[in-house]
Amino acid sequence: MKDQVWKTPFWPEGVPHTISDYKFPLFKLLDDSAKDYPDNVFTIFNGATRTYAQVKEAADKIANFLADKGIGKDDKIAIFLPNLPQFPEILFGILKAGAVAVTCNPVYTSSELQFQLKNSESKMVFCMDHPQFYPNTVKAIEGTNVDTVIICNIKSYLPKIKALLGGLLGKIPKAAKHEPGHIMYDDVLSKASSDPLSVTINPEQDTGLMLYTGGTTGVPKGAELSHTNITYNCLALHEWARFVHGEDKPPEKMYSGGYHTLMGVLPWYHCFGLCNVLLMACMGANKLICIPDPRAGNPPFTEVLKAVQKYRPTFMAGVPTIFVAFANHALLDQYDLSSFMGCFSGGAPLPPEVCKQFEEKTGSIIFEGYGLTETAPTLTVNPTFRKTRKLGSIGFPLIDTDIKIVDFETPTKEMPLGENGEIAACGPQVMKGYWKRPEANDEVFVQLDGNRYFLIGDIGKIDENGYITITDRKKDMIIVGGFNVYPREIEDILYTHPKVELVAVIGIPDEKSGEKVKAFIQLKKKEKMTIEEINDCCKEKMTEYKRPKLIEFRDEIPISNVGKVLRRVLRDEENKAEGI
C-alpha cells in the first residue's frame, strides 16, 4: 500500500507515518533481547524470575523437542495455559520450530477446546497440571489429531521456599492423576538440546499464530496471522507510544533494556494480551508480570493491586472492566499505584468517569485503541498526549494503516467525511485470512483503490480532524468484559436441550462487565423446565463469561415472516423497559 499520511493536524509529534523494518521472524524479538540483555528479567511469577537468556534456552529446547517429534513447518501446536512463565518459552519454541502456535482459552470446557483442536488440526497440546484444566484436555483430545500432551506444573517456576511449602501443604495445583504417555514439561527441558534450530521462515507468508475468533459472525474461525502481521504491530506501537521518562524530559518512545515493567493482567491466549503485552515486553527486553488469575484475592482483584505495589509496573494494557475493577476496588486507597506511566484500553468503550478516576489515582494516562484478532490486533490508537487524546474516539489509524468508511450495501463506495458507514481497514497487520474458510474470506475482504481492505462490520465515522469514532457495532455481538460473545454459539448449545423449541440470545447493559447475556427460551409444547436446568446445560458446555446471566421463558419468541428470530425486537423491548 502506498504511504498513508492521515489527514489531521493532531498527528502525534515525533511519530513517523511509515516504518519498514518489521519483516522478520517473530522469534527474533526474543533472540535479540537475549543477545543484548541476557541477564535482564523477562518473567516475574510469585516472586520468582526468569531471565531472557533462560527463556531463550528453554525456547530452543522446546524447538528441538518438537523437531524430534517430527513437528515442522506449518504444523499446529496448541497452548492451553493461563499466564504462566512457561507460556513465552513454549510460544517462542513453537515458532523456532517453524510451527504455528494455536492459543486456547484455558477456561474452555472440553467440548469448546475439542472443537478448536480438531478444526486447527493441532498435533500437540501444552496444558497446565491442574485438577480442572488437565482433565478437560484429556477429554478434549479424543477424536483429534493430538498425539502428544505436555503437562506444565508450576512448582519448578516458584521460589524454592514457596515450592517447598506449597508442596508440603498441597497448595500447588496438580491433577489427581496423569494419563500414561503424557509428558512432563520439566522432563522435556531436562533432556532436549538447547542448540538453535535452523529453520527458514518467510515472515510475510508463513503463519506464526492462529487465533480463534467469531469474526463478524458467531462461528469460531481460525485467523491466520503471519510473522510480520505481528512484528509490525509491535514495532508500530513502539513508535506510537510516547512517554515522559523523567522530570523535564520530552515524550519519547518506550525505553528498552529493562526500564519498563509490563502488567500481564490480560490473558495471553487472547490477541490483545499476547501481542500488546507479552510480545511488547519481549521486544524491549523489559519485565513482564505473570497474572494467571486477575480475580484472585479478597475482595477479588486484590492480588493484582498487591502486584502493582510490589513490582511497580510502568505500563498496563486492559479492557475497560479492568480499569473499572481498579477504580471501584474497596481497598484501592491502601495501595500505591503511582508507578504507571501509561495504559492502553481496548475491547470496548472506556467510560470517561472511569478514565478520570484511574488517572487521578495513578497519575498515568489511558489512551484508547481499537482492533481485532484479525488485525494482530491494533488498527487505531489515540495519541498518548493528553492535549490531543480525544476521549470517546478510537484515535487515528496506526502507522502505515488506512481506514475507510464505506457504504453498508456497496462496500466499494466510500462515504463522505462525517457520515456513518462500515469501517474498512488496510495495513500490514491485517491477517492472511481465515483457516480453511474461503467463503468467510470472500465476505470480509474487498478491493478498494487497488488494495485489499478488511470489512470489520462495525459502524463508524471520521470527523473533520481525522478522529475516528465507533457509532455502533454488529448489533448481535455481545461484549462481556472485553470479550466477544456470539449469540448463535450460545443458541446452538441451548438448542441441544430436548425441551427447547426456540431460543434468542441478546446482550443487555451491565455496569460491571459492559454487557451480560440474556437468553429467551420458548419450550416445546407441554414441556416444563427450570432455570437451574438451563444453567446446568450451560455450565457443562460453555465458558463462564458466555453463560446467560438472565433467562426468560416465553410462550412465543418474535419471528419475521420468513421465520427468522427477531433479536432486534427483544433488544428494543429490554431497552424500553430499562428506559434506554
Q: Which three cell numbers stand for residue 5?
A: 499520511
CA distance 45 to 289: 6
For the chain, the domains span: 50-200, 398-472, 478-577
What whole-number distance in Å separates Cα of residue 37 and Cα of residue 73? 29
The chain-wide mean pLDDT, for the chain, equals 92
Q: Round to whole Å and give the CA distance between 322 and 294.
A: 9
Is there a common fold for 50-200 and 398-472? no
- Average pLDDT over every residue of 154-170: 87
pLDDT in tens, 226-253: 999 999 999 999 999 998 888 888 889 9
> Three-state SS across 264-279?
ECCCCCCHHHHHHHHH
pLDDT of residue 216: 46
Cα–Cα dist 78/80, whole Å = 6
Confidence bin at 94 (pLDDT 50/70/90) = very high
**Percent of the chain with pLDDT strictly greater than 90:** 76
Q: From the CA atom positions of the chain, what is the Rg in Å?
A: 24
Average pLDDT over residues 452-480: 88
Contact 61, 68 (CB under 8 A): no
Reply yes or no on whether the pLDDT at 111 is more than 90. yes
Question: Sorting pLDDT into bands at 50, 70 and 90, what band is 176?
Answer: very high
Q: Which residue has the higher pLDDT, 409 or 553?
A: 553
Residue type, 311: Y
CA atoms within 13 A on the CB side of 575: 9
As a whole number, mean pLDDT of residues 16-32 equals 97
Rounded to whole angstroms, the maximal C-alpha distance in the chain is 75
Looking at CATH, the fold of the domain delimited by 478-577 is given as GMP Synthetase; Chain A, domain 3 (3.30.300)
Confidence of residue 473 (pLDDT cuts 50, 70, 90): low
CATH class (in words) of the domain with range 398-472: mainly beta
Q: What is the pLDDT of residue 471?
A: 80
What does the pLDDT average to over 212-233? Answer: 85
Q: What is the pLDDT of residues 523-535, one digit of tens each?
A: 988 899 999 999 9
CATH class of domain segment(s) 50-200: alpha beta
Q: What is the mean pLDDT of residues 140-149?
A: 98
Phi, then psi, of 42 in degrees rounded to 5 = -95, -65
Q: Give SS3 for 363.
A: coil
Task: Write out the DSSP string of 485-508.
Answer: E-HHHHHHHHTTSTTEEEEEEEEE
Q: Is the pLDDT of residue 361 over 90?
A: no
More confident residue, 320 or 368: 368
Please report, for residues 25, 60, 136, the alpha-carbon distance to residue 230 in angstroms, rounded to integers and kept in the order given.
10, 21, 30
H or E stretch including 286?
none
User: For the residues 404-421, what does the mean pLDDT come to?
Assistant: 93
SS3 34: helix
173-184 exposure pattern, b = at least 16 Cβ within 10 A, e = fewer: bbbeeeeeebbe
- Quote the percentage of the chain above a pLDDT of 70: 97
pLDDT surpasses 60 at 562: no
**316 within 8 A of 215, measured Cβ to Cβ:** no
DSSP summary character for residue 128? E
Q: Taking 60 as the threshold, does the pLDDT of residue 545 lie above it?
A: yes
Q: What are phi and psi of 92, to 5 degrees?
A: -70, -30
How far apart are the C-alpha atoms of 421 and 514, rounded to whole Å?
Answer: 24
Would you say 76 and 123 are in contact if contact means Cβ atoms under 8 Å apart?
A: yes
Q: How confident is the model at residue 457 (pLDDT cuts 50, 70, 90)?
A: confident
Q: Which residue has the cell 432455570?
A: 531
Amino acid at residue number 254: M
Whether pLDDT at 561 is above 60: no
Helix (H, G, I), strand (E, B) or coil at 214: coil
Give the least confident one: 78-82, 336-340, 358-362, 444-448: 358-362
Q: How confident is the model at residue 3 (pLDDT cuts 50, 70, 90)?
A: low
Q: What is the pTM of this model?
A: 0.88
